[in-house]
Amino acid sequence: MGRKVAVSMRIMPESVEVDVDKIKNEIEGMGLELKDIKVVPVAFGLKAIEAVFLVADEGGVVEKLEEKLKSIEGAGDVETISVTLI
């Protein structure tokens, strides 16, 4: 088995009106190896989802994960916070 990395990401909703719990549930149901996921307040009623995924240590994996998360209905910006070899 190859090495894995922990990728910490922040998923912002498109607007304050978007149901972040719905986005969170969709992420949980994607079949990804999820280490942690939580909804955190940002500002002025806006909430974001912070999630830690375990993925293979291969080139392009983080970009593919970002694209997959951006494809969720209601998801806006997706930011990679950190990538750590485990």
| Domain ranges within the chain, ordered by starting residue | 4-85
CATH class entry, domain 4-85: alpha beta
Looking at the chain, the whole-number percentage of residues with pLDDT higher than 70 is 99
| 8 band by pLDDT with thresholds 50, 70 and 90 | very high
pLDDT at position 1 is: 56
Cβ(7)–Cβ(80) under 8 Å?
yes
| 56 band by pLDDT with thresholds 50, 70 and 90 | very high
Residue 45 reports pLDDT greater than 90? no
pLDDT at position 51 is: 98
